[in-house]
Amino acid sequence: MTHYLKPEITTIYSHKPLNDLVVNFRLRKDTQGNIELREQFWRFETDDQARGLVPPVLVYADLMATGDARNVETARMIYQNQIEKHLLEA
């Protein structure tokens, strides 16, 4: 979203059952791997999804949860550029 960080872990959210992805793409668990599969839990479309990105508030929350200074800095950028304006509209 910001092109400021290169992720250590790539998280893929899918609306299809995760077992189907594992079977169709012949995925195997790798404890040293850097890809994480998650079930998509939101039920709305965003402009970011058209670009293959999750909603900004999810990226913000994930980055803040790490506590890493650079991730927190990036989360604040996302908040200021993509989230705050929606809160001010209310």
Could you report the per-residue pLDDT of 10-53, keeping only the tens digit for each?
Answer: 898 888 899 998 899 898 889 899 989 999 998 887 777 777 88
pTM for this predicted structure:
0.79
What was the pLDDT predicted at 90? 59
Query: Looking at residue 79, what is its pLDDT?
Result: 96
For residue 86, name the pLDDT band (cuts at 50, 70, 90). confident
Q: What are phi and psi of 24, to 5 degrees?
A: -65, -35
- For the chain, what are the domain ranges? 10-41, 43-90
pLDDT digits (tens, 9 = 90+) for 59-76: 999 999 999 999 999 999
